[in-house]
Amino acid sequence: MYNDTKSSNPHSVHYHDYLQLDAILNAQQPESEKHGRPAHDEMLFIIIHQAYELWFKQLHFELDSILHIMRKPALNDNSPELQTVVHRIGRMNTILKVLVQQIDILETMTPMDFLDFRDDLRPASGFQSWQFKLLEAKLGLKYEQRHGQEYYTAQLKPEHVQQIKQGEADQSLLQLVNTWLERMPEWDPNFWNAYQEAYAHSLAEVEKDNLQYFHSVFAANREGHTLSAQANRAALFIMLYRGYPLLHLPFQLINGLLEIDEGLSLWRNRHMNMVHRMIGTRVGTGGSTGRDYLKSAADKHYIFKEFAQLTSFLMERSRLPVLSREVEEKLGFHSLDR
C-alpha cells in the first residue's frame, strides 16, 4: 500500500533537492529560441557541453586530491596513499573515455543541423573552456609548450586567466612525479653500466643510432626536459622490473599517466575530426582556425611524452641484467626505509 508519510529524520534529503535539479534542468537556454527560430539540435549541443564541463570539474576534483598526496614530503612506494593515487588516476582515465564517447552522441547532429544555430553562438567557443586549460596546466602543460600562445587566454574572463596562471605557477603533477622518482634509491651501483652494455647489444644494426639518444636522455645537466636524468633512470628501472611486488604500484602510476596523455589525445583528435566534418575549413566561432588549430594542438600537447620515450630503451626480459639477491629481497614485500 502506498505510504506518503514523511520521513521522521529531520535531516532527510529529497533526490530532487539534493541534485539541485531545478537549477540544472533550467540551465539550458537555446539562443535560437531567443531569436524566434528554434533549432531542435541546439538543446543537444548545450547539454553535451554542460556535461563536458561537469566532467572537467570531476577531473579537477580527482587531480587536486592526487596533487595533495604527491606534495607530501615522503610517499612510500607500497602504501595506501600511493594506491589511492593510482586508483584516482584510473578514475580520471575512465572519465576521459566517457568524454570521447560523448562525441558519438554529438555526431548524431548533421552539419546542416548545426548551421541552423551556429551563427547565434559567436563568439562563444569551446576554446573558452577555462576548466580544460587549467586541467592541462595542473597536469604539467606549461605556457611555453602550448600551441597558439598569443590567444589561448585572450577570450577568457580575467578571473579565469588568473586561475590558469596560478595553476601554471604551482607544482604540476608531472613535476611532483619527477620529485617522487628522484627519491627512489639506487638499488645497485653497478646496474646502470651493466644495463647500458646489455641495451647496446640488444640493438639491431639499423637501431645503433638509438645509443646516442640513450646517452642524451640520461645525461646530467640536460636542457629542455621536465624529467631529470635521475628520474628517467628510476622510471626506466620501474618499467623494466615491474614484476617485483614493490614496483607494481609505481609502474601502474607511470602507465596511468601515459593513459591520460592517450585519453586527451583521443579526445582532441575525435573533436578535430568532428569539427572538420561539421564546418570543413571554416573559421571556428571563437575565431580560431578550427580544425587546423585543433590538429596542431593535438600534435603538440603531450604532457607525459618523456615517459613514452623511455619505451625506446626497453629490451627483452631474457637480456635484462640479473639483480643481486639483496636487491631482489628489497623489491619484495619487505619493509623499506625511505
Binding region for heme = 271
Indicate the SS3 state at residue 112: helix
Helix axes 42-70, 173-182, angle to 10 degrees: 30
If phi > 0 it is left, if psi is from -120 to 50 it is alpha, else beta; for residue 280 that is left
Dist CA 218 CA 210 (whole Å): 12
Which residues are annotated as part of the binding site? 45-49, 118, 271, 285
Which residues are annotated as part of the binding site for substrate? 45-49, 118, 285
Residue with cell 541534485: 19
Helical spans, DSSP H, in the chain? 15-18, 21-25, 31-34, 42-70, 80-106, 111-115, 130-139, 158-169, 173-182, 191-202, 210-217, 229-240, 248-279, 291-300, 305-309, 325-330
